[in-house]
Amino acid sequence: MKLSTIARIFRESLAGRNPRELYWGFSKSAHRYKQMINVENHVFAKAVLDDNWKFLFAAVKPVAGENEQRMKAAADWLIRAKKASDDNGVSLGYFPCQTLYDSPWFPSYPETTGYIIQSLVEYSQKYNDPSILEHALSMATWESEVQMSSGAVQGGPLCDPENQAAAIFNTGMVLQGYTAAIRAGADKDILKAAYRAADYLVNDIGSDGHFQTHGQFVTHEKIKTYNCLCSWALYRFSEDTGKSHYKEAAIRTVEAAIGEQRESGWFANNCLTNPLAPLTHTIGYTLQGILEVGLLSGREDFLAAVVKGVNPVIEKIKENGFLYGRFYSNWEPACFSSCLTGSAQIAIVCFRLFEKIGSQKYKNSADKLVNFLKSLQKLDSPNDAMNGAIAGSFPRSGSYMTMGYPNWATKYFLDCLMWQSKFMDSQ
């Protein structure tokens, strides 16, 4: 990393923050480390220290192969996260150093439970596992039961109806799960819930082609480019129902997202919190949304936008598979740690491009990212809540979902393992 980039990261991390904000940020970090002293967190603390050592000395050793056992471990962890909740949703994740809730397992998270449904359906079909399919369908039923009366899905972990606020992205991700459940044989109640969600999405599109309702847990810029991932769900639902206006809406919103792409391939207005330095997580959302709608609709211009957007990213992948977690518009890193969810998402986009275009550079890039992630997945930890999971950041003390295991990191890891296995099986 360039010295000028390092200086910029430090400068911008402090810019606009008053002493009170800096104090509370430091206090929050100190509290997490203090919690690691607790006896029940010693296993996790050892993993954090091991991470930091590997990070400082670039000592991560990629893992080739082992896909089947690692897929099973990831799927088992997602089911464990579901069972950790007192309903049929999936816990937002495991965060052993937090004290916000009584348990290190957070409450169920409607947004990501939605797209986890698709992953579990695909895994159950790949390995003919009816028990996994049963879990996925029960998750879809739960989603229909907690759906807001408007058809929207609330932002954040599940809360009482009077405290819920609609979020367009969350609604799209649950629609994604509904489409997977419908295709796997879900009952007509799920179809009704899917119609409500799809109609909410279409009605939320503004005159500029962008979705408008971002929810309470992200910064409130007018545009959130990554919302275009909702377009994939809309297009799929159009296929399920034969209703062309959902397909037309999907194409319109992707066209609007491409309008945010700069000549360098970077997308503006494309982050949860910092549009000047988007996460690879939201970059991955945007690329996947454009790509999947492009493949379904046969739009070569959509495919070209994805190629233009992903090529600068894969140039930044280290030889061992490490990828910085944020990027400025000149494609210089905007943080020091890696966002592991984003790495998995970029790998999926690369596998899809390899399948479509045949260029080996995309498969090579995807394999690097996945093999790096495999090296970070624990399979034999004394703490079973860690086995099979992928952390938010590398190192775990990094800036994204610090010191924990958000369920979506493991969901996308499972997805990219299934894609890697597909090409292994065809060799």
Domain boundaries, the chain: 42-425
Q: At 8, is the pLDDT very low, low, confident or very high (cuts 50, 70, 90)? A: confident
For 288, counting Cβ atoms within 10 Å of its Cβ (0-12 exposed, 13-18 middle, 19+ buried), the class is: buried
pLDDT of 92 reads 97
Summarised one tens digit per residue, pLDDT across range 385-424 is 999 999 999 999 999 999 999 999 999 999 999 999 999 8
Map tokens 């899905």 to a residue: 153
pLDDT of 72 reads 97
Query: Of 312, 310, 322, 318, which Cα lies nearest the Cα of 373?
Result: 322
Return the half-sphere exposure (C-beta side, CA atoms, 13 A cut-off) of residue 303.
13
Whether residue 36 is predicted with pLDDT greater than 90 in this model: the reply is no
Kindly report whether the peptide bond that precedes residue 395 is cis, defined as omega within 30 degrees of 0. Answer: yes
- To the nearest 5 percent, what fractions of the chain are helix, strand and coil? 60, 5, 35
Summarised one tens digit per residue, pLDDT across range 165-174 is 999 999 999 9
Q: Which tokens is 77 given?
A: 């962890």
Given 2.40.50.140, 2.40.50.100, 1.50.10.10, 2.120.10.30, which CATH number is that of 42-425? Answer: 1.50.10.10
Buried b (16+ CB within 10 A) or exposed e, 85-118: bebbbbbbbbbbbbeeeeebbbbbbbbbbbbbbb
Mean pLDDT (whole number) for 271-289 = 96
Whether residue 427 is predicted with pLDDT greater than 60 in this model: the reply is no
Q: Specify whether the CB–CB gap between 288 and 341 falls below 8 A.
A: no
Q: At 220, is the pLDDT very low, low, confident or very high (cuts 50, 70, 90)? A: confident
Output 270 or 35, whichever has higher pLDDT.
270
Residues making up the chain, counted from first to last: 427
| Global pTM value | 0.95
pLDDT of 214 reads 86
Summarised one tens digit per residue, pLDDT across range 128-148 is 999 999 999 999 999 999 999
Amino acid at 128: N
pLDDT of 100 reads 82
Least confident window among 110-124, 132-146, 152-166, 303-317: 152-166
